[in-house]
Amino acid sequence: MSKNYFGTDGVRGTVGSDPMTADFAMRLASAAAQVLVPQGGTVVIGKDTRLSGYMFESALEAGFVAAGADVLLLGPLPTPGIARLTQEFDADLGVVISASHNAFFDNGIKFFDRSGSKLTDETELKIEKQLENPAITLDSRKLGKAKRIDTARTRYQDFCAASMPQGIDLEGMKIVFDGANGAGYKVGPRALANLGAEVIPIGCSPNGKNINSGCGSTEPELLRATVPAVKADVGVALDGDGDRVLMVDEAGNLIDGDQLLYVLAMARKDKGTLNGPVVGTVMSNLGLEHALRARDIDFRRAAVGDRYVLEMLRSAGGTIGGETSGHMLVLDKTTTGDGLISALQVLAIMKETGKRLSELVAGMPRYPQTMLNVRTDRPLNPDTSTSIQDAVAAAEGELADRGRVVLRASGTEPVIRVMVEGEDREQVVSLAKRLATVVAEAAA
């Protein structure tokens, strides 16, 4: 049974269009309450800095309270902070109002269970089934109540600081922090400063409409220019809801999620604390795989999406994984992707080793990748198309063991993503164009 509303990361869309309306948010809260807290319970709600967050916060609060649940309102807080406080307050459910790295005119709603983990597909399907029924309003004596929590930011801030290795602080480090004008705009600079760093904040002046605009991990050009200009040691960029992180070295070079995963894995290997395999995705750079295997580190690839990385880590007994986009998982520190905590682990390695970030990533080659999006007017499964599979086999034959081909359908738009990766950039570009042509012909 397929889902109509929940995607890979909750419900998301353009504000004012179905399903991102106040009415739907209230019905979604009612349905979630009836499925997950039918006898009443506690729900925490947090959000990022989008203007529409006020509207959705009020609608969700109404739906949960009407269904008999008590609500704790956290205000603007990174998604991983909401996951953490769901546990800390012993709540039954955590709710995040955010569209992550999207522009301000989008928004979304996603849930965490009481352990701070994302809901299973089965649970999301149950909520969607309940949405077929009207929202409920209980008798006045059974209604829930709402309370705003003023200590949410400092609680999460303290949790992040506690993830640092014992005895390690950031004294003597000059850090440019880019908060994407999003949920981490306060907690990020303050957490770093409390650990002793000199912090230069950018992207930390949200106005409700400038989230992810010209700043943050999706648009890091300002950070890349600022770090060398102010002679900082490093730059840190979150996305709008704070679950992703990219970094910039002292020369302004962008360090992506694959490289950060390499730094974490190498440090743990050297300390003898690396447990289980390191997990990336089918899109992770081949250079990461080769560099890890050169050190006898087991590397595995999950499907694209942090939930699939998490599933593989848990099933294989691993603790670190992530995506090229910077969605990192450090499961011995927290339960979900956390940009700030992931950045702190890298900063701690810099401090412990005395090495610059450029030195720490130097051992990982980054092979050229070309990604082309081929729009399709009808459903197309590249795995079942003979012409596409023949073309893929031919391309893989040319690359031999020096490259990869990945074709996958987008989960958010009607396109087939064609990715070719290898040592020779000209060959990679040529093969990607050739495959894109074959896919376009098959989709016609």
Tell me the backbone φ, ψ of residue 11, rounded to 5 degrees.
-100, 130
CA dihedral 432→433→435→440, nearest 10 degrees, is: 140
Tell me the backbone φ, ψ of residue 343, rounded to 5 degrees.
-60, -40
Distance separating alpha carbons of residues 279 and 340, to the nearest angstrom = 20
Distance separating alpha carbons of residues 435 and 419, to the nearest angstrom = 9
**CB within 8 A of 315, min separation 6: which ones?**
none
Angle at 102 between CA 132 and CA 320, to 5 degrees: 90
HSE at residue 113, side-chain half, CA atoms within 13 A, is 12
Cβ–Cβ under 8 Å, residues 211 and 178: no
Which DSSP string corresponds to 229-244?
A: HTT-SEEEEE-TTSS-
100 is catalytic: yes
Tell me the backbone φ, ψ of residue 413, rounded to 5 degrees.
-150, 160
- Among 62, 35, 6, 28, CA closest to 131: 28
Distances 380 to 136, 155, 376, 377, 402 between C-alpha atoms, Å:
41, 47, 7, 9, 28
Q: Determine whether 268 is exposed, middle or buried from the number of CB atoms within 10 Å of its CB (0-12, 13-18, 19+).
A: buried
Angle at 222 between CA 203 and CA 361, to 5 degrees: 105
Distance separating alpha carbons of residues 264 and 364, to the nearest angstrom = 12
Cβ–Cβ under 8 Å, residues 109 and 6: no
Catalytic residue among 100, 163, 325, 342: 100
Coil, strand or helix at 158: helix
Cβ–Cβ under 8 Å, residues 205 and 181: yes
Distance separating alpha carbons of residues 444 and 286, to the nearest angstrom = 32
The H helix count followed by the E strand count for the chain is 14, 18
User: Where in the sequence numbering do the catalytic residues fall?
Assistant: 100
